[in-house]
Amino acid sequence: MFGIRIVRQNNEGLVETLGKYKRSVTSGIHFYMPLIQKIRTVSLAMTPLALPNYSVITKDNADVSASLTLNYHVTNSVKYQYENTDSVESMAQLVRGHLRDIIGRMDLNEALGSTAKINLELATAIGDLTDTYGINVDRTNIDELTPSKAIQSAMDKQLTADRERIATIAQAEGEAKSIELTTKAKNDALMATAAAEATATRTRADAEKYRIDTVNSSLGSAQPGFFENQSITAFSDLAKSPANVVVIPNDHVADLGQIPAIGAALKSGFVTPPKTQPKA
C-alpha cells in the first residue's frame, strides 16, 4: 500500500523513513509507504520577517528602540529542518546581535541619521553566517530607530532652545542691519545736503565775484566826467532830502552852484560858501 504526496512548486520534500532523513525530492507527485515513511515539505520562497522593537544602547549610552524587517529564503532544507530547533529564530538572534554591535559603536545623532549605513554594515556583517541555519538573508531594512521618551523630551528642549537662539540671533542681526542702513541713509543725506550747500555757496561766490569784476572793469574804463556827474547827482539828491547838514569835499565846492537849491541860497546870501584852504 502506497501513499501519495504532492510537493508544491517552489518547495522541497524531505523523505523520512522511520523518522530518519533519507533523501530530498523536488516539486511534483511522490509515493511513499505510510506508517514507515513521511514526506516533510519546506518552502524555498522568499519570506518576510518583522523583528519586534528591541532595546539598543548607543556609544553615548542612549537607549534606542530598533525596529527591523528582513527577507530570507531557505538555501539548505536539511540544515533548516534537522540541524536547528528553530532556524528562523536563530537567524533573527544573529541579526539582532550584529545590529546591537553596529549601533553600539555610534553616537545617538550618528545612528539616527545613518540608517542606510547601518543596513549596509549589517548585511556585510551577516554575510554567509546564516548559512549555518540553511537560510540566506536577502535584504535587511531599519524601519525605525526611536530614542526613549526621556531622550526625546531632552532633544525637543534642545531643538526648541536652538531654534530660539537662531531666531534671536537673526532678529539681532536684522536690527543691527536696519540701524546700519538707517545711519548710512542719514549720513548720505547729510553729506548730500552739505555738498548742495557748498555748491550753492560756490555758485553765489562766483556770481558775486563776477559782478564785482564786471563793475570794477566798467569803472576802470569810465571817463572822469562820469564820476563828476555821479557826484553832482548824489549831492543834488542829498540836498533835496530833509537833512540839515551836507558834507562836501573841498574840490567840489565850486560845483555847489550847479545844485538849484544851493545856487539860489548862495545868490540870496543866505548861505556863505566855505573858504577854500590854501594849498601847502
Render pLDDT for 28-64 as a digit per residue (tens, 0 to 9): 998 888 889 899 999 999 999 998 888 888 888 888 8
Q: What is the pLDDT of residue 170?
A: 84
Q: What is the pLDDT of residue 42?
A: 92
Residues forming a β-bridge with 67: 144
Return the CATH superfamily for domain 47-147.
Band 7 domain (3.30.479.30)
Q: How many Cβ atoms from other residues are within 10 Å of residue 142's Cβ?
A: 20
Cell output for 15? 523523505
What are the CB-based long-range contacts (under 8 Å, 24+) for 182-186? none
Which strand (E) or helix (H) includes residue 73?
Answer: strand 63-74
Contact assessment for residue 59 and residue 32, using Cβ atoms and an 8 Å cutoff: no
**From CA 185, how far away is CA 3, in angstroms rounded?**
102
pLDDT digits (tens, 9 = 90+) for 61-99: 888 888 889 999 998 999 999 988 888 888 888 888 888
Q: What is the pLDDT of residue 22?
A: 92
Which residues contact residue 96 at a Cβ distance below 8 angstroms, ignoring those fewer than 6 apart? 51, 54, 68
Q: What is the pLDDT of residue 225?
A: 62
Q: Per-domain residue ranges for the chain?
A: 3-43, 47-147, 154-203, 224-268
Contact assessment for residue 87 and residue 135, using Cβ atoms and an 8 Å cutoff: yes
Q: What is the pLDDT of residue 280?
A: 46
Predicted TM-score (pTM) of the model is 0.52
Q: Average pLDDT for consecutive 10-residue bins of the chain (280 residues)?
A: 86 91 91 89 92 85 87 90 88 89 88 85 79 85 81 68 80 87 87 88 85 74 63 66 59 54 53 52
Q: What is the pLDDT of residue 257?
A: 53
> Tell me, what DSSP letter sits at residue 244?
S
